Amino acid sequence: MESKYFILFLLSFYSFIPKISSTTTNVINTNQFITDGDTIVSSGGTFELGFFSPNGSTTRYIGIWYKQILPYVQTIVWVANREKPLTNTSSVVLKVNKPGILALLNDKNETIWSTNTSRSVQNPVAVLLDSGNLVLKDANDDNPENFLWQSFNFPTDTHLPDMKLGKNFKTGIEVYLLAWKNDNDPTPGEYSLHIDPTGYPQGLIRHGARVSARAGPWNGLRWSGAPAPLQTQTSIYTFQFVFNEEEVYYSFSLINNSLLTRLVLTNNGYIQRLTWVDRTKSWHLYLNIPLDTCDTYSLCGAYGSCVIDSSPVCGCLDKFEPKYPQNWQTGDWSQGCVRKTPIDCNKEHGFLKYSGIKLPETNNSQYNKTMTLEGCRQVCSTNCSCTAYSSLDISNGDKGCLFWSGELIDIRELSGRGQDIYIRMDSSDIVSQASSNRKKTGTVLAVSFSLLVAVILLGLILFMYIRKKKKLKLKEDFELPQFQLSLITRATNNFSVNNQIGEGGYGPVYKGVLEEGQEIAVKRLSRTSMQGIDEFKNEVTYIAKLQHRNLVRLLGCCIQGEEKMLIYEYMPNKSLDSYIFG
């Protein structure tokens, strides 16, 4: 009986509090509340908050979805009461209480879900921002650092633009994604996505407490093991990684805010980047991680390297061998590899460079942000427990150091986008590798020299062939005798000015006498003449074909080097001079 009166009192109390219209506000204050059927919409109209039911379910949740694409699909990006679904919402309200708590209350005024804060404000409000972030703050204070609470600090399975995934070392709050149980149930699933700050920060997908996939450490440009689509900034978004004494986080920002894109952790442990395509009215899958079998965490064990184009995909790094060869042959690579020559700290050792790889697990790593690569080597050399080292930041040359201790796991080859790592090895392995490199270098040089000689010989043969072919073609084209330059030089007394009998636009004409006594007229093409070899050939052919009794008879020609000459029968008759001199 008493409960009946209490419910009537509660309902009558709420009847005096204004309900919210989805078309008028993005705010819930202490004088307003939301019931099932009411929503608030962000100022730009991108996001909407209210009650919803997943596909194929009758249970109700408070959530945030994209308002713009609601006519085509309801895409949920955040869920409040994911662990406490509602079966009856007739008396359930979402409201803001003083001193600053957003709560979902049932008909008994019991809290189903609420925010938590250690501070209070005089005029608390909940505001749905156009970023999709639901914030609890003082109505007169828009400073993000003073927010009492925000949904971006407690995401579900979706990473939205400008949301920081990582950890705040001052507050202890870790922001990570937690997948849905299945496509139709937002209850927390088995997979989570973290920016793990242990050792040096790296991106991890966990299946329960076990790591299932790893993006590798941040190298100043990208995650070390990131697939190609995630490596560089795009025309859609830029990304940022921050790591300092106060926080570590990864975020991305849109270049064009009119685009809709999101990063989702699926219920089967995949990270998917999805972009809305307005033409097809659907989400386009841009990226899917893990990308392939080699993204499986520690698939090849310690010092094993995964090569996706090989069969089998797992192999040992150079100078390493399977720890248990029989298991390795059966496809059990979990025990990994060991050095062929074990490390003895009392003996001489060095570091062998391995290129083009995804850097190993960094849980057991240390770092220095200012040291040079040579400094890394020196520091690692003095500590036998230092297994390997690499550059920390490759964004502007090699800067900083990343040191590993213990075994190196989760390595894969990345053609064209991997990094260099220097692994501690016995000195005998360093010497043998250097000798092998010298042999390879010698072989390469020998092959290169042989190829160079072959190219030169081929070029000479080709040159001689073309030259001979031109001469043959010239003979075929002219069908005229060709005089040697030396013969013409003697005949004209070395082109003496005393032998010059005239000059035309073509060049000078010389009188000469051949060895057998025949007089000739030599028409010599001036070197400053604009007439080319083709024009010269045309003239020779033209004259040869027009042998006429009234024309000066063409005896032949001389083409040698830059010299081009026509050899005529000498005629003293001046009426024909114009033909030769023209």
Asked whether the beta carbons of 105 and 112 are under 8 A apart, the reply is yes
Measured torsion, CA atoms of residues 125, 128, 133, 135, in degrees rounded to the nearest 10: 0
Residue 15, pLDDT > 50, answer no
**Mean pLDDT for all residues in the chain:** 85
In a domain, 409, yes or no: no
Compute the Cα dihedral for 185, 190, 193, 196 and give only its sign.
Answer: positive
- What per-residue confidence (pLDDT) applies to 18? 58
Per-residue pLDDT averaged across 38-53, rounded? 95
- What per-residue confidence (pLDDT) applies to 176? 98
Domain limit, last residue, from 99, 121, 154 = 154
C-alpha angle with apex 327: 323 to 332, nearest 5 degrees? 100
Residue-wise pLDDT for 217-226, tens only, equals 999 888 888 7
- What per-residue confidence (pLDDT) applies to 10? 41
Question: How many Å apart are CA 278 and CA 153, to the nearest integer?
Answer: 30
The reported pTM is 0.72
Question: How many Å apart are CA 215 and CA 291, to the nearest integer?
Answer: 11
Buried b (16+ CB within 10 A) or exposed e, 445-465: eeeeeeeeeeeeeeeeeeeee
Residues with Cβ within 8 Å of residue 471, at least 6 apart in sequence: none
Cross-strand pairs, 295 = none
Q: What is the CATH number for 44?
A: 2.90.10.10
Q: How many CB atoms lie within 10 A of CB 253?
A: 11
Question: How many Å apart are CA 505 and CA 486, to the nearest integer?
Answer: 25
Asked whether the beta carbons of 467 and 461 are under 8 A apart, the reply is no
Residue 191, pLDDT > 80, answer yes
- What per-residue confidence (pLDDT) applies to 469? 64
Residue-wise pLDDT for 236-253, tens only, equals 788 899 999 999 999 999
How would DSSP label each residue in 274-315?
Answer: EEEETTTTEEEEEEEES-SGGGBTTTT-TTEEE-TTSSSSEE
- What per-residue confidence (pLDDT) applies to 464? 76
Q: What is the CA radius of gyration of the chain?
A: 43
Length in residues, the chain: 582
In a domain, 176, yes or no: no
Residue 574, pLDDT > 60, answer no
Burial of 363 (0-12, 13-18, 19+ CB in 10 A): middle
Asked whether the beta carbons of 49 and 133 are under 8 A apart, the reply is no
- Domain extent, residue 142, equals 1-154
In this prediction, residue 479 has a pLDDT band, given cuts at 50, 70 and 90, of low
- What per-residue confidence (pLDDT) applies to 22? 45
Q: How far is CA 175 from the centre of its chain?
A: 26
Domain limit, last residue, from 106, 130, 154 = 154
- What per-residue confidence (pLDDT) applies to 192? 98
Measured torsion, CA atoms of residues 445, 446, 450, 452, in degrees rounded to the nearest 10: 10
How would DSSP label each residue in 37-99?
Answer: T-EEE-TTSSEEEEEE--TT---BEEEEEESTTTTT---EEEESSTTS-BS--TT-EEEEETT
How many alpha carbons lie under 13 Å from residue 332 in its C-beta half-sphere? 7
Q: Which residue has the tokens 């399975």?
A: 157
Q: Which residue has the higher pLDDT, 489 or 135?
A: 135
Residue 161, pLDDT > 80, answer yes
Question: How many Å apart are CA 457 and CA 437, to the nearest integer?
Answer: 30
Q: Copy the structure tokens of residue 219.
A: 């190298």
Question: How many Å apart are CA 304 and CA 325, to the nearest integer?
Answer: 13
In a domain, 526, yes or no: yes
Residues with Cβ within 8 Å of residue 391, at least 6 apart in sequence: 219, 373, 376, 398, 399, 400, 401, 402, 419, 420
- What per-residue confidence (pLDDT) applies to 476? 52
Residue 425: phi and psi, rounded to 5, are: -135, 160
Per-residue pLDDT averaged across 186-192, rounded? 97
- What per-residue confidence (pLDDT) applies to 75? 97
- What per-residue confidence (pLDDT) applies to 349? 85
Of 163-167, 335-339, 497-501, the poorest mean pLDDT is in: 497-501
In this prediction, residue 267 has a pLDDT band, given cuts at 50, 70 and 90, of very high
Residue 4, pLDDT > 50, answer no
In this prediction, residue 9 has a pLDDT band, given cuts at 50, 70 and 90, of very low
**Strands, sheet with 411-412, edge to edge from the N-terminal-most edge strand:** 314-316, 304-306, 411-412
Per-residue pLDDT averaged across 556-573, rounded? 82
In a domain, 401, yes or no: no
In a domain, 308, yes or no: no
Per-residue pLDDT averaged across 382-392, rounded? 94
Q: What is the CATH number for 538?
A: 3.30.200.20
Tally of domains in the chain: 2
Of 312-316, 341-345, 531-535, the poorest mean pLDDT is in: 531-535
Cross-strand pairs, 238 = 253
C-alpha angle with apex 323: 320 to 325, nearest 5 degrees? 100
Q: Which helix (H) or strand (E) holds 338?
A: strand 337-339
Residue 380, pLDDT > 90, answer yes
In a domain, 499, yes or no: yes
Q: Which residue has the higher pLDDT, 562 or 75?
A: 75
Of 7-16, 71-80, 85-94, the poorest mean pLDDT is in: 7-16
Residue-wise pLDDT for 408-449, tens only, equals 999 999 877 789 999 999 988 876 554 555 555 556 666 777
Domain limit, last residue, from 129, 154, 179 = 154
Question: How many Å apart are CA 152 and CA 165, to the nearest integer?
Answer: 9
| 201: preceding bond cis by omega (within 30 degrees) | no
Question: How many Å apart are CA 45 and CA 66, to the nearest integer?
Answer: 9
Residue-wise pLDDT for 95-136, tens only, equals 999 889 999 999 888 999 999 888 889 999 999 999 999 999
- What per-residue confidence (pLDDT) applies to 196? 95
Residue 337 DSSP code: E
In a domain, 402, yes or no: no
In a domain, 62, yes or no: yes
Residues with Cβ within 8 Å of residue 446, at least 6 apart in sequence: none
Q: How many CB atoms lie within 10 A of CB 38?
A: 18
Compute the Cα dihedral for 461, 467, 470, 476 and give only its sign.
Answer: negative
- What per-residue confidence (pLDDT) applies to 472? 52
